[in-house]
Amino acid sequence: MTELFGVPIQALMGQLLLGLVNGSFYAILSLGLAIIFGLLNVVNFAHGAFYMLGAFLAWMGLSYFGLNYWVMLALAPLLVGLFGMVVERLLLRRLYGLDTSYSLLLTFGLTLLVEGMFRSIYGVSGQTFDMPDQLRGATNLGFMIMPNSRAWVVLASLVVCAATWYVIERTRLGSLLRAGTENAALTSAFGVNVPLMVTLTYGFGVALAAFAGVLAAPVVQLSPLMGQHLIITVFAVVVIGGMGSILGSILSGLMLGVVEGFTRVFYAEASSTVVFVIMAIVLLVRPSGLFGRER
């Protein structure tokens, strides 16, 4: 068997793929956080809860209504997005103009509320999600055996990230969004309905989180607390990448997932903390983040 740095290449590639899977989740979540922060100036702590909600909706759709994974892949983000819009209209909207800490604390409270409810119903132990038949099995690439489910997660995430990047950077809708991010008052003076745009943006951001949740449902352990482990790491990713750039969020998410994967191969004990160590180094060397600009 071929070896690289004294590690079998099969194991190395396996961890690389696992890192890419995690990196895909980081990328989608930090992308959503960046879009929301850009326009609303809100750090959405509830992003992890919405991710969990997406995964659980997929599981509930399958177990209670017999709706399969592919249906839920579209339905769950839609429902969570609608829920997010209600949250924005009824709750978040009241805090605009106040210090940004308040909206962070509000979404933190929402996180506790939503996670607490799911915990009181489903407990902390995980649920299992039956893998759809199309994703079972593995493909032999010659240098490694690749489980199809993981490849699908990475592929679907990349497509969604690329589509989001395209819409924001290359279409008229995206240019309105960027204009709103740059100067909301001026944009509304040009006749754009900024409050509606804000609601839709929040809805879209949390729908992205729910999409990541559905993708995660077959490959990770489903638990009401699955979001809170992720969201703190994603915050570190956001600090490392800087929230200024869409592409930056995607790239730093993927990159840090891969770094985490490699750390698991060479020094497993540090794999849960390596992202935070990188964050400390970035803060020392380039405080505004790798792709960030100081706002």
Q: Which residues bind other proteins (CB under 8 A)?
A: 37, 43, 91, 94-95, 97-102, 104-106, 108-117, 119-120, 232-233, 235-236, 238-239, 269, 272-273, 275-277, 279-280, 283-284, 287-288
210 close to 54: Cβ distance less than 8 angstroms = yes
Q: Which amino acid is at 1?
A: M
To other proteins, the closest distance from the beta carbon of 100 in angstroms equals: 5
Residue 269 and residue 26: Cα distance in Å, rounded?
20
Strand partners, 4: 7
Least distance in angstroms from the C-beta of 141 to other proteins: 33
Compare residues 4 and 268 and give the one whose CB is closer to other proteins: 268
If DSSP codes are grouped into helix, strand and coil, which group holds residue 290? coil
Task: In the chain, count H helices and then E strands.
Answer: 11, 4
**How far is Cα 234 from Cα 240, in angstroms, rounded to an integer?**
10
In this structure, how many other beta carbons lie within 10 angstroms of the beta carbon of residue 7?
14
Is the CB of 104 or the CB of 247 nearer to other proteins?
104
Smaller CB distance to other proteins: residue 235 or 262? 235
Smallest distance, Å, CB 9 to other proteins? 28
Least distance between other proteins and beta carbon 14 (Å): 23
Using the minimum distance from each CB to other proteins, give the nearer residue, 114 or 153: 114
We find the least distance from the C-beta atom of residue 239 to other proteins, in angstroms, to be 6
DSSP letter at 4 equals E
Output 124 or 155, the one with its CB closest to other proteins: 124
Comparing C-alpha atoms, which of 2, 27, 29 is closest to residue 13? 2
